[in-house]
Chains A and B, each alone.
Chain A
Amino acid sequence: MPRSPLGLMVAVLGLASGTIVGGPLAASAAPGQLARASDALPRPEKLTIGSGLPLHVVRRPGMPVVTLLALVRTGSAQDPQDRIGLASLAGALLKRGAAGRTGAEIDEMLDAVGADVAVEVDDDRMLVRFTGLSEHLDLGTTLLADMLTRPDFPAAELELARDQRLAAMRSTLDDANAIVGLAAARNHFGTHPYAHPGQGTRSGLGAITTADLLRFRDTAIRPGNIEFVAVGDLDPQRLATALRTALGSWREGPRADAARPLPPHRVSAGRRVLFVPMPVTQAYIQLDLPSVARRHPDHLPLAVMAYILGGSSRGRLYADIRDKQGLAYGAYASQQAQAAEGRLVLELQTKTASAGKAIDSLLGQMRRMAEQGPTRTELEAAKEYLTGSWGSRFESGADVAGQVAAMRFHDLGEDWFRAYPERIRSLTASRIQGVAAQYLRTGRYSLTVVGPEESVAPGLGRFGTVTRTEATSLLD
C-alpha cells in the first residue's frame, strides 16, 4: 500500500512546474533535453465559436484519448442561502436528461462506447468533461452541447438524485476524513459561503425544486460564462464548426448574469477549537489559518512555504511527526487558494492518546517556520522539485485540459505554463520567510478535531476555546 499520498498532496497544492533544470544530476542532462521539456509544454490555440465563445485546443497527434471540457464560471459558493447544494445537484442532473433524451438513454450512449461525461462542481467552478476515444468526439460534442443548452431536469430524476444524496449522507457520517473536512470548513469560514458543504445540506436539498434548477440554467449556464477546452488528436476548425452547430442559437442568446461577488471572509481573532465526536480509533486533526486567494501576489510564496513545511515526504511535518516520532501515517501542509479566499491547511491523523502531542508538534513547526523561515537548502530543493516536476503536470490529456481550465479561470495569463518556473525560481528566502511570519500565526487559528469523546476531548482546552458539535449537524 502506498507509503504516502504524495501525488495527491501535490495536486491539492495546485503547484506544479516546468522545465528540467537544476538538481544534483543536472550535469548529466543533455542540453537538447532541457529545450525539449519546455517545448513539450502545451501552447493552446484559441478559437472562437460563433460570436465570442472561446475554444482552447491542444493538439496531441497520435494519442487515442480525447477530452472536451466546458468550464462554467459558477459554483457552490453562489448557492442561495436556503438552497445549499443547488449548483452541485444541477451539475449532476445535466446528465439525467437533455434535449428530449432520458438519463437512461444518455447512459446507454456513453456506456456503449466506454466514454464518460463527468461533472465536477466546486465552490467557484463547474467543469463538464467528456472523455472518450478520438473516434467518439462527435458524440461528446453533441451530448455536451445538449447538456449545457437544453438540460431537461425531469422531476423524477430530481427526486431520485435528492434521495440518493440524502442517503449518501449516512455514509458521510461513517467517514471521519469527510467529517473533519466539513467541520474544518465550518470552523474556519463561519458564515462565509465557502463554509457550506458543496454536496448540499439536508434542508437545502429538501427545498430545491425544478423551478430552481431552471433558474440556475437560465442565469448561470449561459454564453459569456462558458469556455471550452479540447485536448487530443483532433482538427480544431472542424471541432469549432461542430460545436457551433451543436450549440445552435443558444450561443447568440442572453448572456449570463455576473456571478455574485463573495463577501470578504472576516476571520475572528483567537483560537477556535471545534470538536466533533466519532467512534473511531484515531483523532483526525486539521488546523486552518487564513491566507490569500489564488490571484494574490502572496499565493505563490505561500504555496512554496507550505510545500517546505509539509507538502511532501521531505516536508518538516512529515519528518518530525511521522519519521521521527512515528505518530501518524501522514502529516501535511498546503496553501489552498480559491477564487475569493484562501487558507493554509495542516492535517494529520494519530492514535487518540497522542492527539495533544501531535498538535503541539504542528504548532511548534509553525512557530519555527514563522521565526526562521526555510533554510537555503530547503528552498533550493523545493524550487528544484516544483520546477523540475512541472512538465509531469501535463502528461495526460485530462491533465492538460485541467491546466488550461485553471489558467483561464484564474486569468493567469496566456504565457503561464512557461512563466511559472521562472516565477518559482525568482522567489527569495526572505520573501518566503516574510509570508511565513505574516500568515503562520499561532494566536489566531481554527483547530478541528474528530475522534472519540472520552479520550480526545478533555485534552483540547489548552489549544483554545472549545466548541462541540455533532457530525450530523454539519449536514443540516
Chain B
Amino acid sequence: MSRRVVAWALALAGLVVAVPALAKHARADADGVVVHQRKLANGLEVLVAPRHHAPLISFQVWYRAGSRDEAIGESGISHLVEHLMFQGSPGYPTGRYDELVERNGGSNNAFTTEDFTAYYVDLPADRLALAASLEADRMRGLLMPTEKFGSELSVVKEERRWRTENDPFGMMWEMLGATAYVQHPYRWPVVGWMDDLDRMTRDRAMAYYKRHYHPDQAVVVVTGDVKPDVAFRSVATAFGNIPRGPKVDRAVPVEPPQRGERRTTLLRPVQAPAVMLAYHIGNRADADYHALVMAERILSSGRSSRLQKDLVDTRKLAQDVGASAMAGLDPGLFLVYAVPMPGHTAEELEMELQAALDRLAREPITERERQKAFDQARAAHLMGMEKNHDLGIELGTAAMLGDWRRAFDVVPGLAAVTPEKVREVAARTFRKANRSVIVLEPDATGSGETGGR
C-alpha cells in the first residue's frame, strides 16, 4: 500500500539499498546489468537498463512527491492525485490511456508511498514510443474532470476501508505511524485520514499536481529489450519540451529524538491478537543501514532464522513473526512483530521479541549467520532483477531515495558489515526508550462500523 510496506517487502526479499559514495557517471555495470543515465535540459533524469532475454520493456515514471510532502489537513492527497492521473490528460482524454495500453498488450498501474509516487507500463518492446507519449502527456497537463473527481474520491475511500479498516495489520500499521512519529509527516497514513478525504477538493488536488508534477521532479526508468540511444531519443522526443516547474522545497519537520517508550493498544473485534515493536533508525543513506539489514535477515529471513526457528518452530509461542528495517528518504523504523499462538499472549511475545533484540545487542552474531545472511541477500538480489518490471522498481526506488546506484549496493554493503558492527548498532537502536509498542487486542464488544461511514 505504501512505501513503508513496499520497503518492507523489498527488505524481506533482500533488495535493500546501500550507501554509495560514487561520482556521477553516465553508465554503470553491476550484476550483469548495465545502466545508462542522462539528464535532459529540463531536468528530467532518464535511466535505461537494456536486457534482451524477452521482447518486452517496462516504462516507469517516478515523481518526487509522496505523503511526506502533504500539508496538515490534506493527508491522502498524493495518493488521490495518483488516481486522478488516470482520469485523462489533454492528448489522451478519459479512458484513452487505459484503452491504448490494453490494445497494445500492456499492463499498467501506479503506487504512492510516503516518499514518492510511481507509474508504470509493462509492454512489448516496440511500443516504447507509445508509453513515452502517454506518460509525457499527463506530466504536461491533467484534465481532472469535476464529475470524475467525486467518483474517484469515493473509490479512494473504499480503498481505505478495504486495506486499512478491515485489515488488522492495516489498522496496526496506521497506529504505528501515529505513535512513533509526533512531528514528521510519516505520522499520517499514505491513504489519508477519512476526515481529510471528506474535506478534499478538486482545487487542492489540482494545486498539488501543479506543484509536484514536473520533469525536474521526475525520473524515467526504461528496462528491457531496447537500445539505450533509441530509448533516450524516444524519451527526449516525448518529454523534452515540457518546461521545468517552480522550485519545490521538500524540507519537512525533523522528528525529535524519542525520550521514552510509547504504547498504543488497539481494541478491535478480531480473533487473533498481535504485537508490533518499532525502533527509530536512520534513513536509507545512514551508515547503520546495512548492519540493520543484516539483523533483519538473521532475525526473520528463512525458516532457519532466529525468530522463526525459536518462537515458531521450537517453542511454539508464535503463529507468525517478522522483522524489517524500513528506511526511506527520512529516518525510519526497525519493526518486529508477532502473532501469538492460541494460549499465549501479546504481552508474552512482546517480551520474547525484546529478548531476541537484546541478544543481538549483547552477543556478536556468528560467522555462519553473517555468511548466510550475505548469501541470501546476494541470491535474492539476483532473483529480484529477473523481470524488467522488478529491475525498474529497484532502480526507481533507489533514485527516489537519493541515488539509483544504490540498487546495486546491497551485496558490497552487506559484505562490509562485521559481527561487532551489528552488535554495536543493535545496542544503540533496540533500547526500550526508543521503541513504540502497538498491541492489537481482541474486543468482541467493539463494532466494525466505527471506523467508516
Contacts and interface: CB of A to CB of B under 8 A. Distances in A.
A30 B155 CA distance: 40
A442 interface: no
A91 to B, nearest CB: 15
Interface in A1-50: 1-4, 6-7, 10, 17, 20, 22-25, 28-30, 33, 36-37, 40
A170 B166 contact: no
A381 B104 CA distance: 9
A64 B95 CA distance: 40
Contacts of A37: 55, 124
Interface of A: 1-4, 6-7, 10, 17, 20, 22-25, 28-30, 33, 36-37, 40, 60, 62-65, 103-104, 107-108, 110-115, 131-133, 160, 163-164, 166-168, 170-171, 173-176, 278-282, 312-314, 322-329, 349-352, 380-381, 384-385, 387-392, 394-397, 452, 455
Contacts of B272: 170-171, 173-174
Interface in B255-305: 269-272, 301-305
A175 B167 CA distance: 7
A37 B103 CA distance: 16
Q: Identify which of B98, B152, B378 gathers the most chain A CB atoms within 10 Å of its CB.
A: B98
B382 A65 contact: yes
B202 interface: no
Contacts of A326: 150-155, 158
Contact of A23 (B83, B105, B376): B105
A132 B379 contact: yes
9 contacts: A1-B1, A3-B83, A23-B127, A114-B377, A114-B379, A131-B383, A171-B320, A278-B448, A452-B448
A96 to B, nearest CB: 9
A466 B293 CA distance: 52
A326 B148 CA distance: 9
Contacts of B305: 111
A4 B109 contact: yes
B162 A349 contact: yes
A392 B56 contact: yes
B2 interface: yes
Contacts of B168: 171, 174
Given A104-B304, A314-B99, A314-B102, A20 B55 contact: yes
B166 A23 contact: no
A61 B341 CA distance: 46
A343 to B, nearest CB: 23
B386 interface: yes
B427 interface: no
Contact of B102 (A107, A175, A381, A391): A381
A114 to B, nearest CB: 3
A322 B316 contact: no
B271 A312 contact: no
Contacts of A65: 382-383, 386
